[in-house]
Amino acid sequence: MIKNYFKIAWRNLKRNQSYTLINVLGLSLGMACGILIFALVKYHLSFDDFHPNKDRIYRIVTEFHEDNVNYSQGVPAPLGKAFRNDYAFAEKTARVITYGNSLVSIPSSKDNKKFEEENGVAFAEPEFFDIFNFPLKTGDKRSMLTELNTAIITQNLANKYFAKQNPIGQIIRLNNKIDFKITGILKNIPINTDRKQEIYLSYSSLKQRSKSMASDSSWGSVASGMQCFVRLKPHVLPADVAKVFPAFRKKYLGKDALTDFFNLQPLSDIHFNTDYDGYVNKKYLWALILIGLFLITTACVNFINLATAQALKRAKEIGVRKVLGSLKTQLFWQFIAETALITVFALFISWCLAEMAIPYINQLFKTELSISIFHDFNLTVFLVLLSVVIVFLAGSYPGLILANFQPVVALKGKLTQKDAGGFPLRRVLVIVQFAISQILIIGTIVISAQIHYAAKADLGFRKDGIVLLNLPGSSKTKLNTLKTRLLAIAGAEKLSFCFEPPASDNNNETDITYENRPVKEVFQINTKDADDQYVPTFNLKLVAGRNIFPSDTTQEFLVNETAVKKLRLKSPQEIIGKTITVSGKKAAVVGVLKDFYTESFRSNISPIVIAPKYLQYNYAAVRINLNNIKPTLTAMEKVLKENYPDYVYSATFLDEKIAKFYELDNTILRLVQGFAGIAILIGCLGLYGLVSFMAAQKTKEIGVRKVLGASLQNILWLFGKEFSRLLLIAFVIAAPISWLVMHHWLQEFVYRINIGPWIFLVAILSTFVIAAITVGFRSVKAALANPVKSLRSE
């Protein structure tokens, strides 16, 4: 019986090839998107889930309750040691501090090979590897990182640094200053972890890199790179630990205990909590899942629409089967078999499409996803369940319609559209389909508009033509020599040495005290260490006072308008000549800068203080002539390499650095654009199928109208008026839903666009144009048909 079901199903599908093709294509596109979304969501949900006892692993994080609440994934450097000594809640406690973009050289190599490690290095306590499952391939775990100046690296780096040599016992040099002996080789780090470092150094050596970070008394500062992980004992609850934190803060933080709070962050939350620099908010994964459901629903709507529309063509077949004794259940399962065949074909094509798309997805998201049905049990289960759901979701209603045909009426050919599910149902389904498409279109327009706004807005400083050259060292003599040589290059217009450019995701915030006020202010101020050329190089605007004078050390300060407001002063002029104390240094404020954006548009403009401090300079910011870029960059690279021959040359444009603020938003935009395009394509396939069916059903009517003098426009309107009404209803449904969703998304941005009428106008017009092309293509063909042949065909 089952074999017979599929045999008949195959014959029916071959007989109605256009119907089969449209359904297979629609389902294939929807399922391919479903597969890709499943792979992406599964990848992100798998982050750091391979560690034993992962549900007992936590990171201690810091909250700052000042004029507003700020968050940091870092803690004071001594916290881990104090927590380990004072309490017995944890089986293991480990401190780890990371430094990005580190220079690693191999002293034993002939040409002193140098490598710029983008993921940087981590100084870690030995217990770190008891908490996390990063297993050794070679070496003794018991003595790992216990000795001074020892290191472990991954197999990947061992091959890169030493090729076929034995890496154990070899020396690597950090930033041309500190030597470390390799005592172990780690297996390569899995891709699904937020711990990307491939070089781990003994924590006891940290004092050679930074005495302040290694100090057990530096409770007053928090660096985001300094983190503390604990694995709690069984049956110890996070709430138990939270109860002791108030006393713990009071014991070690003094007055800061009133504003600085510690919390436990579960390991499973680290990848998703953007307050603590997580990669992606879980709501984006839910949005992806919802889009996947939308696309699959759109494909199923196509199937139901076309199947019910085709039902009348199969009326006599159903009538004969019923007369010959077929039961309703048999007819129902016959149609389910047809749906299953289409779904199987679609599944195979969708898998092929997903395989073709996965390299682009990996490039877009910088991942290493793969789609392997035979090696990924979860994916296999997902595909089976997806296929079963689609078969019954898409096939059940048309199957019930066919099974309920009355045999006598069917054989007489007197079935109407009402018997085949009727136009009302198909209207509803088309409305659902195009409402989904318009929601995605409006979402795409809003995201594009916000990103364009961020890219084109006046940031309050110049970002074009600014090259940021990494400074390996900050010796006064070398800096002066470098400045002279760089400014001698044709095309180099201005130069400033600075800690960071005006807008940066690497910020240094500290306490500030104004004049003789008895207590420090309730806000932190963002320190921008820079020389006197910072203002002219970045075209910053002074609203009061003057620029700072040339100096190597802090003698006077510049602040921005936000700092003045935070200090509760009435005007910028009021602060000129007044003293402030920042990072223990007291000096007068000589100028006030017009506010400029200090981070992405998701963050408020920070209160800023600018002062020289040459030991903190990370960059030489060079403003260049954009008409002479290539030779200027080549000349600057030559100067840097000659001045710092032991370092790797590194440079980036400021506008590119700022664009990275919105890297994830651009990725999401491209993804939504793709899915919106696919939703429209699926909708158009269904629309074309329905119009084709209507044209076949109205062949005689069209012929009569043409004989009676109807024009081409009249015939086209016969088709167009029906779908125009449906598209308008779909828009009325989609517009408020889209507004609510995108309004919620825009709340992430402090500085954002308004969702104006033009966005909805563009959405409805673009949908009408696409639908008109789809409907018009088939309608024109029907309208131009010879009316004599049309009348004879009946």
pLDDT in tens, 26-54: 889 999 999 999 999 999 999 999 999 99
DSSP per position, 309-323 = HHGGGGHHHHHHHHH
Mean pLDDT, residues 266-272 taken together:
96
Helical H segments across 75-204, by residue range: 79-86, 128-131, 155-162
- Residue 422 is predicted with a pLDDT of 47
Distances (CA, A) of 458 to 11, 91, 314, 452, 455: 65, 52, 64, 12, 9
Taking a C-beta distance cutoff of 8 angstroms, is the pair 503, 461 a contact? yes
Taking a C-beta distance cutoff of 8 angstroms, is the pair 232, 58 a contact? yes
Q: Where is 681: in which H helix or E strand?
A: helix 663-697
Beta bridge partners of 180: 172
Q: Point out the least confidently predicted range of 458-462, 666-670, 787-791.
A: 787-791
Cα distance between residue 135 and residue 157, in whole Å:
15
Cα distance between residue 272 and residue 288, in whole Å:
15
Cα distance between residue 104 and residue 112, in whole Å:
10
Mention every residue, 6+ apart, whose C-beta is less than 8 A from residue 776. 716, 720
pLDDT in tens, 768-780: 888 878 777 666 6
- Residue 297 is predicted with a pLDDT of 87
- Chain centre distance of CA 543: 38
Q: Point out the least confidently predicted range of 409-423, 434-448, 458-472.
A: 409-423
Cα–Cα nearest to 730, from 768, 757, 694 = 768
pLDDT in tens, 708-753: 666 666 666 666 777 788 889 999 999 999 999 999 999 999 999 9
DSSP per position, 513-578 = EETT-SS--SS-EEEEEB-TTHHHHTT--EEEE-PPPS-SS-SEEEEEHHHHHHTT-S-GGGGTT-
Mention every residue, 6+ apart, whose C-beta is less than 8 A from residue 715. 702, 705, 706, 779, 782, 783
User: What's the burial of 659, exposed, middle or buried (CB within 10 Å: 0-12/13-18/19+)?
Assistant: middle
- Residue 412 is predicted with a pLDDT of 46
- Residue 421 is predicted with a pLDDT of 46
Cα distance between residue 701 and residue 791, in whole Å:
8
Strands 585-593 and 651-653: unpaired
pLDDT in tens, 336-345: 777 788 888 8
What global pTM score does this model have?
Answer: 0.86
Taking a C-beta distance cutoff of 8 angstroms, is the pair 673, 665 a contact? no
pLDDT in tens, 532-562: 999 999 999 999 999 999 998 889 999 999 9
DSSP per position, 181-242 = EEEEEEPPPPSS-S----EEEEGGGHHHH-HHHH-TT-TT---TTEEEEEEEPTT--HHHHH
Q: Which two tokens stand for residue 204?
A: 């006891």
pLDDT in tens, 153-183: 999 999 999 988 899 999 999 998 999 999 9
What does the chain come to in residues? 794
Work out the number of other CB atoms within 10 angstroms of the CB of residue 378.
Answer: 11
Residue 409 pLDDT class (50, 70, 90 cuts): very low
Cα distance between residue 188 and residue 740, in whole Å:
44
